[in-house]
Amino acid sequence: MVSTTKETFGKTWNAKYTLRSHFEAVRALVFHSANPLLITASDDRILKLWNLHKTIPAKKSASLDVKPLYTFRSYTEPVLCLAMYSTGNRCYSGGLDGMIHCWTLSLANIDPYDSYELNVFSHTLTGHTNSV
């Protein structure tokens, strides 16, 4: 039986935040366990760290724009998945190239204008022969 009451159609959602910075499709995101942070992974081969408490009013909508805190680069192919370690100090990403990268998140020291830091990129896990 189909009903046309308001309850059938459910709730209409309004965006609270808008995250603009990736140049290709976002494949995955993971929230930090204790802080208002999230990391996104994209087909543009990069990961971005976002702080949901650092927002600016959007020009064309009621949502708030969020600028990335940090951009993680090391992939040559799209990044497909993410996982956050339970303490929130490490993030793992998997890509189309079959690699799993481990990232150290020292959140107090991250400056969005710093050059690439080798200590952020911890290590690579290899062994997969296909995408992760």
CA distances from 85 to 103, 105, 109, 110, 125 (A): 10, 10, 19, 18, 15
Global pTM value: 0.78
In a domain, 18, yes or no: no
Q: Give me the pLDDT at residue 117, please.
A: 53
In a domain, 7, yes or no: no
Whether 5 has a pLDDT exceeding 80, the answer reads no
In a domain, 86, yes or no: yes
In a domain, 41, yes or no: yes
Kindly report the CATH number assigned to the domain that includes residue 111. Answer: 2.40.10.480
pLDDT in tens, 33-75: 888 899 999 999 999 999 888 888 777 777 888 889 888 888 8
Between CA 43 and CA 61 the distance in angstroms is: 26
In a domain, 52, yes or no: yes
In a domain, 43, yes or no: yes
In a domain, 98, yes or no: yes
Specify the number of domains making up the chain: 1
pLDDT in tens, 79-99: 999 999 988 888 999 999 999
Between CA 12 and CA 35 the distance in angstroms is: 27
Q: Give me the pLDDT at residue 113, please.
A: 54
For tokens 């929130």, the residue is 88
Per the structure, the complete domain to which residue 113 belongs is given by: 26-125
Between CA 93 and CA 14 the distance in angstroms is: 29
